[in-house]
């Protein structure tokens, strides 16, 4: 197996793992939005409603970021991995995606924890 083939296999595995991560985050985000719907159906104060609207906006933003990351991964996956992946920018794009996915996971965890605190305060 050539170096390019090994690199390609590694990149494909990494991209597949990212897509699974994004799918997990998408499903978690859906659960949070469903929980938010349950909360809004209850009698809540104006301040709590405003806070719920804030979280709704965050959840919609996360949906958008997830969709954009999925698109970026698909674009990267559609490119042929060149023999000189480190020299033509392919590796840089792959590393940027890795960083973006990691940042998304951290931000999502922060939002989820804040939402859970909000839910327990009602």
Per-residue pLDDT reduced to its tens digit, 35-84: 999 999 998 999 999 999 999 999 999 999 999 999 999 999 888 776 66
Residues 66 and 22 sit within 8 Å (Cβ to Cβ): yes
pTM value is: 0.86
* CB-based burial label for 85 (10 Å; 0-12, 13-18, 19+): buried
Predicted pLDDT of residue 87: 59
Domain of 104, in residue numbers: 3-121
Quickly tell me which residue has 């699974």 as its tokens.
20
- State the residue for tokens 């985050």: 25
pLDDT at 27: 98
Structural domain count of the chain: 1
């Amino acid at each position: 197996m050539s170096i390019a083939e090994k690199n390609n296999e590694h990149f494909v595995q990494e991209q597949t793992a990212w897509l699974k991560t994004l799918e997990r985050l998408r499903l978690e985000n859906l659960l949070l939005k469903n929980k938010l719907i349950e909360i809004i159906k209850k009698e809540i104060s104006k301040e709590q409603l405003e806070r719920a609207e804030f979280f709704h906006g965050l959840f919609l933003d996360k949906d958008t970021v997830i969709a954009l990351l999925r698109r970026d991964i698909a674009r990267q996956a559609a490119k042929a991995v060149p023999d000189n992946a480190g020299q033509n920018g392919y590796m840089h794009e792959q590393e940027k995606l890795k960083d973006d996915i990691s940042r998304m996971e951290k931000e999502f965890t922060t939002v989820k924890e804040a939402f859970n605190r909000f839910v327990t305060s009602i």
